[in-house]
Amino acid sequence: VDLLSCLHSRYLLELIGYCADQDRRLLVYEYMSNGNLQEHLYSNEKSLVEQALHLRSELEIAAQDVDGLFAEIDRKNEIETGNQNLVQTFKSQLLQHLEFLHSSVVDSVSQQRQQLKNTEEQLVSFDSTKNQATEGVKNRVERLKTIYYSGIKGLHNLVNELDKKTLATFGRVNLAVDSQASDLNNLLENAVTEADAILFELQNALAEQEEKMSSYASQQQE
């Protein structure tokens, strides 16, 4: 008590007195309206605790935000990886389709060229066959004409001879005329048969060529 009574400072209250009653000890100071030191210290500690709790809450929220950010980054990385895989798969499939398309186009062009070549060869063969058949028909017709005119001329000569010869030989001449007429008729029939055969062969060749051309046109349309 003597020591406390000797302390004088503007930061400390002056000791007014004390009371000692058996086990009770009391110090009497001047009344302080703003509270005592314990209240100020306790108030500051409580404020610090509240600030610490608030800071802890904010740190927990920040940690959650950071975790969410890392999760979002991981999700974006997974999406980017998936997109890269999709792009690679699409690129691979596109290359396969392009190779197949190129192969199909090359095969189609090759087939078209071969068909055109075959068609040209068929046309050349058809023209050659047609020319040969036409020339053969012309030659046979000319030969038939020659034979026919020769037969007619022979008949005229025979008629003239009939006029000059006597009636006694008339029967023999008639037999000769009948024989010549029969031979000429047979010759003409053979010539007509040959001409019909040639025309039939020519018609068959033309029909075959038309069928080939129609088949080729159908293939081109497909």
Question: Residue 93 gets which letter from DSSP?
Answer: H
pTM of the predicted structure, to 2 decimals: 0.35
Question: What would the two tokens of residue 164 be?
Answer: 């000059």
**127 closest CA partner among 214, 209, 216:** 209
Segments in the chain forming alpha helices (H): 2-6, 37-164, 170-221
In angstroms, the CA 51 to CA 47 distance is 6
Contacts of 216 (CB under 8 A, 6+ apart): 115, 119
pLDDT at 116: 82
In angstroms, the CA 122 to CA 209 distance is 8
Dihedral pair phi/psi, residue 10, rounded to 5°:
-75, -15
pLDDT at 32: 63
* pLDDT tens track, the chain, 222 positions: 566 666 665 656 666 776 777 777 766 656 566 666 566 556 666 777 788 888 888 898 988 988 888 888 888 888 888 888 898 888 889 999 998 998 888 888 888 888 888 888 887 887 777 777 777 777 776 777 777 677 667 666 766 776 666 555 555 655 655 666 566 666 667 766 776 777 677 677 667 766 766 666 566 555
